C-alpha cells in the first residue's frame, strides 16, 4: 500500500455529529466523503441534514442524514440503532456537535451551565458510550473530538475590544475537559484497536465584526482566520490509516496561534 492509499477512507462508515453545521461540521463531513467514506451527517435539523447529504450525493459521494439532539440520550440511542441497522458498524466517529448560547461570565447562569453540560459533556460521553463497544468488538475505530484553541490556552480578551463580543466561559471549560477525556479513551481502548484524538481548530471565519478580524489576523502567525479547507486534511489524517500509530494526540489547526 502506497502512502497516499493510507489516507483513503474507502469502505469506512463515518458519523459526524453536527455534520451539516455551517462551521467545522460541514467541512469535516465533506472531507470524509471526499476521501471515500460513507458519510452519515447527524444533527438537530433533519431538513438541513437531508439537503446537505443530497448536495454531497449530487457530487458523487455516498452521504446519509439522521436527526440527532445531542442533549437527549434517547435521540443518541435512536441514532446508534439506525446506524447499526443500516450499516452494521461504525468505523469513524467525529464529535463535532456543540450546544451554545453565548454570553460572558456576567451573563451566564448556573442553569445555563447545566444545559451546556447536558449537551457538551453528557452528549459527548453518550455518543462514545453508544459506539465505542462496537469499535472494540470489531477491533478497529477512530474517534475524533473537536476541541478548540480555547481548550489549550486562555482566551484573549483584547480580541473582542470594540465588538460587543464575549467568549463564553462554559465553552473553554468544556473544550479543555474534552482533551483529557480523549486521552482517557486513547489509553483505555488503544489495545483494542480504537484510537481517539482531538482536533483543536483556531478561530473560524464567520463574518465577524471588522475590529475582531483585524485583532485576530494581527495576532495569528499565519495572518488569517481558519476557513473550510484548512481543517479537512487534518480530519482525514486522523480518521485514516495514515495516523494508525497516533492516539491521545491534540492536533492544533490554528495557524500557529498556540505557538506564541
- How many CB atoms are closer than 10 A to CB 131? 25
How far is residue 116 from each of residues 76, 100, 248, measured CA to CA in Å? 16, 7, 24
C-alpha 210/C-alpha 103 separation (Å) is 20
Length of the chain in residues, anyone? 260
24-34 vs 46-58: helix crossing angle, rounded to 10: 30
Q: Which of 34, 9, 13, 256 is nearest to 149 (CA)?
A: 256
Q: Is 131 helix (H, G, I), strand (E, B) or coil?
A: helix
Active-site residues, by number, are: 171
Amino acid at each position: 500500500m502506497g502512502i497516499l492509499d493510507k489516507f483513503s477512507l474507502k469502505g469506512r462508515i463515518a458519523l459526524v455529529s453536527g455534520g451539516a453545521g455551517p462551521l467545522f461540521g460541514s467541512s469535516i463531513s465533506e472531507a470524509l466523503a471526499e476521501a471515500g467514506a460513507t458519510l452519515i451527517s447527524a444533527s438537530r435539523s433533519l431538513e438541513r441534514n437531508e439537503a446537505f447529504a443530497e448536495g454531497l450525493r449530487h457530487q458523487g459521494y455516498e452521504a446519509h442524514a439522521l436527526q440527532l439532539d445531542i442533549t437527549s440520550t434517547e435521540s443518541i440511542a435512536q441514532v446508534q440503532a439506525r446506524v447499526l441497522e443500516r450499516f452494521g458498524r461504525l468505523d469513524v466517529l467525529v464529535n463535532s456537535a456543540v450546544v451554545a448560547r453565548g454570553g460572558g461570565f456576567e451573563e451566564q447562569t448556573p442553569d445555563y451551565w447545566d444545559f451546556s453540560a447536558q449537551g457538551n459533556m453528557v452528549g459527548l460521553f453518550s455518543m462514545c458510550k453508544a459506539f465505542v463497544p462496537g469499535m472494540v468488538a470489531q477491533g478497529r475505530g477512530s474517534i475524533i473530538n473537536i476541541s478548540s484553541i480555547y481548550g489549550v490556552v486562555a482566551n484573549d480578551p483584547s480580541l473582542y475590544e470594540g465588538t460587543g463580543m464575549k467568549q463564553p466561559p462554559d465553552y473553554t471549560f468544556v473544550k479543555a475537559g474534552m482533551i483529557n477525556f480523549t486521552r482517557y479513551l486513547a489509553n483505555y481502548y488503544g489495545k483494542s484497536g480504537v484510537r481517539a484524538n482531538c482536533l483543536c481548530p483556531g478561530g473560524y471565519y464567520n463574518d465577524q465584526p471588522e475590529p475582531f478580524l483585524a485583532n485576530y489576523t494581527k495576532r495569528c502567525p499565519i495572518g488569517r482566520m481558519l476557513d473550510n479547507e484548512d481543517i479537512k486534511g487534518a480530519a482525514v489524517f486522523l480518521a485514516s490509516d495514515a495516523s494508525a500509530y497516533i492516539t491521545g494526540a491534540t492536533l492544533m489547526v490554528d495557524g500557529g496561534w498556540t505557538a506564541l
